[in-house]
Structure 1
Amino acid sequence: MGKRSTPEEIIAKLQEVEVRLARGETTAQAVRSIGVTEQTYYRWRKEYGGLQVGQAKRMKENARLRRAISDLTLDNQILQEVNKGKVLSPSRKREAADHVVETLGATERRACRVIGQHRSTQRKPRVVRQDEDVLTAAIIALAERFGRYDYRRITAMLRRDGWHVNEKRVYRIWRREGLKVPMKQPKRGRLWLNDGSCIRLRPMHKGHVWSYDFVQDRTHDGKVFRILCVIDEFTRECLANRVERRLNSRDVLDTLGELFVAHGPPEHIRSDNGPEFIATALRDWLGRVGVKTLYIEPGSPWENGYCESFNSKLRDELLAREIFFDLREAQILIEAWRRHYNTVRPHSSLGYRPPAPQTILPAAFIPPYCGEVAA
């Protein structure tokens, strides 16, 4: 099959035939000299007869413009057809491309190019695993129970329950089911002195630095109660959550005394400059037992970052989701949440392991909290 002639070449050949005919040659001889059949010659003359080369170029350009406009119109129709919702996942793009091909009559190649789907992905059949429905139900159940956990913590809990699954598969199911990923907390910079030194003491081992702070909430009748939170900054373990209507420096001293007997006194203890923490009796007692106090700068809560992070998780996962009808209910639920936090809840800073797991319990056991009743 010969090379197809361009419009410019066709017009030149027609002019050559006209010159030969003017010299007395027959049509057959003249047509044979340009290397085409008489049918092709007459078709060319009907289409390009009387045109100049510049006119042929303009016709070619107009045809190109009409084809481009037609392509843009079809692309716009495809986008309007599939733009009724977000098309993000490959499965949704596959359904959108099939719908465009069936509705608008576009080719699969064009539909995939406009939608942004690779053709090999479009043609690859979707394989559903046998455990897909069971895994989806397990993810939804954990997400409903622990509403503020993201997919990474859900993945860690699934692995603890015996699932061999990676984060990407859990994330895919998470997005497909429309589960909401909690917003990330903004990063805080360190507080530096004018001489360039950092005033924050980093915990190096268990019992090196403890920190404590107060969290305030209300029962259903509007009455205020306070929570004294004490954590070990190195292990992230919550050592105590004391819940009372009022807490003063004497209550803080009593709580620390019980913790020192159970866990041993730490080397340092960090807090803000609240009156309960800077009381003379408390500071003298800590000095006698050999515990050094670390007070943050006023108005700089990020210096007590470990305790502030724990307080935010306590409020986000429990206090903001539960209605406490009396103080006794608040004490029970908060203590149950503390045990869950220490023994079950995956911590990202610890490789998605709990700070103090209860190894004597079976792997699938989850201590109840947030109002759940143990069997």
Structure 2
Amino acid sequence: MSATFFRTAFAKLGRPSQESRNMIRKDNGLSIRRQCELLGLNRSGLYYTPTGPNQAAVRLDESLMERIDHWHTRCPYLGSRKIVAKLQEEGFSVCRKTVRRLMLKMGIYAIYPKPNLSKRNFKESIVPYLLRDYTVSFPNQVWSIDITYIPMPHGHMYLTAIIDWYSRRLVGHYLSDSLEAESVIHAVTETVKACGVPAIINSDQGSQFTSDDYKNLLRNLNIRQSMDGRSRWADNIMIERWFRSLKTEQLYPNEYRTPRELRRLINQYVDDYNNIRPHEALGYKVPNEFYFACFAA
């Protein structure tokens, strides 16, 4: 192959690529250095072989995340130090830095007052908590939204759920493999289509809820946004308790291997929770009865 061939090939390729690397030959009359010069390649790049993620490390992280979720659900007041102790009791050789990294990845935090409740955006993105001493008198007046981590046999999923304060009815939920803002935007959009527009939606100060896309959605729907006060974990406790009930009563006792099976279990629990589970706070009525009675009156 001649130098002219390499110049022509480089002009066609436009920029260095795997295809151009594959054109390098040891027996074409040009040195490796000269071929790299003509193709615009860094010679050291020829000897680099990309490696995928360490599968053993990935499996270890998934095992740790499953146990972290177990202990967080069972004892939501445990911080990273105490979770490290529980994991070490179970035979895991793990440090606090690893546990904190995984808790951040899962989007969970210990339920007790502390300065930093969750990963936040800039301070100007935080909005006030609107529900202190606030009386809820009818459905769709106030909703709470949050996200929880759910372990899978291979990987994990995230569940976004929305609950109505007045009736305790689970009005919307969405299962996703992503912790991005798109999941909460989808959940709110579909829930509004099914149930109408609430007056207020309350959330924690997580990055999904401080994102511009989420804030613009609520603004366009004329929904007032409320966020938990700093160091006030109990402000969104209603949805946190629902997540705990879902996991301890439905997900932990049952097997699920695929997102479809997990989705079926969640849908079944939501249906049972809304239709057959009485609440003392509702005079032992079920959420759906309490929710729809107001519209029938």
The TM-score, its normalising length taken from structure 2, stands at 0.51
Q: Contact conserved, 2:140 with 2:198, CA < 8 A, in 1? A: yes
Q: Contact conserved, 1:225 with 1:245, CA < 8 A, in 2? A: yes
Partner of 2:205: 273
RMSD across aligned C-alpha pairs, in angstroms? Answer: 2.3
- 1:251 deviates by 2.3
2:283 to 345, 348, 351: 351
- 1:204 deviates by 2.1
Asked if 1:283 corresponds to 2:215, the answer is yes
Deviations 1:293-321 (A, max 9, x none): 11002342211122122122112211222
Q: Contact conserved, 1:219 with 1:323, CA < 8 A, in 2? A: no
- 1:282 deviates by 1.1
Deviations 1:141-182 (A, max 9, x none): xxxxxxxxxxxxxxxxxxxxxxxxxxxxxxxxxxxxxxxxxx
Instruction: Say if 1:253 and 1:290 are closer, same or farther in 2 by CA, change over 3 A.
Output: same
Partner of 1:209: 142
Instruction: Say if 1:200 and 1:319 are closer, same or farther in 2 by CA, change over 3 A.
Output: farther
2:153 to 213, 220, 229: 220
Asked if 1:333 corresponds to 2:272, the answer is no
Instruction: Say if 1:202 and 1:215 are closer, same or farther in 2 by CA, change over 3 A.
Output: farther
Take 2:208 and 2:133, find their aligned partners in 1: how far apart are those partners?
A: 22
Take 1:335 and 1:321, find their aligned partners in 2: how far apart are those partners?
A: 16
Take 2:270 and 2:261, find their aligned partners in 1: how far apart are those partners?
A: 14
Letter in 1 for 2:207: P
Q: Contact conserved, 2:174 with 2:186, CA < 8 A, in 1? A: no
Instruction: Say if 1:299 and 1:224 are closer, same or farther in 2 by CA, change over 3 A.
Output: farther
Partner of 1:249: 181
Greater RCO (CA < 8 Å, at least 6 residues apart): 2
- 1:206 deviates by 0.7
- 1:237 deviates by 0.4
Unaligned runs of 5+ in 2: 1-111, 114-129, 291-297
- 1:277 deviates by 1.0
Larger displacement relative to structure 2 (267-276 or 314-323): 314-323
Letter in 1 for 2:219: G
Instruction: Say if 1:201 and 1:305 are closer, same or farther in 2 by CA, change over 3 A.
Output: farther
Take 2:211 and 2:234, find their aligned partners in 1: how far apart are those partners?
A: 22
Q: Contact conserved, 2:157 with 2:177, CA < 8 A, in 1? A: yes
Aligned length: 163
Q: Contact conserved, 1:208 with 1:267, CA < 8 A, in 2? A: yes
- 1:350 deviates by 1.1
Larger displacement relative to structure 2 (199-208 or 249-258): 199-208
Q: Contact conserved, 1:249 with 1:279, CA < 8 A, in 2? A: yes
Q: Contact conserved, 1:210 with 1:266, CA < 8 A, in 2? A: yes
Deviations 1:66-106 (A, max 9, x none): xxxxxxxxxxxxxxxxxxxxxxxxxxxxxxxxxxxxxxxxx
Take 2:212 and 2:134, find their aligned partners in 1: how far apart are those partners?
A: 23
Letter in 1 for 2:242: F
- Structure possessing the higher radius of gyration over alpha carbons: 1
1:237 to 166, 169, 173: 169
Q: Contact conserved, 1:301 with 1:308, CA < 8 A, in 2? A: no
Letter in 2 for 1:347: H
- 1:198 deviates by 8.1
Asked if 1:306 corresponds to 2:209, the answer is no
Instruction: Say if 1:354 and 1:311 are closer, same or farther in 2 by CA, change over 3 A.
Output: same
Partner of 1:170: none
- 1:214 deviates by 0.8
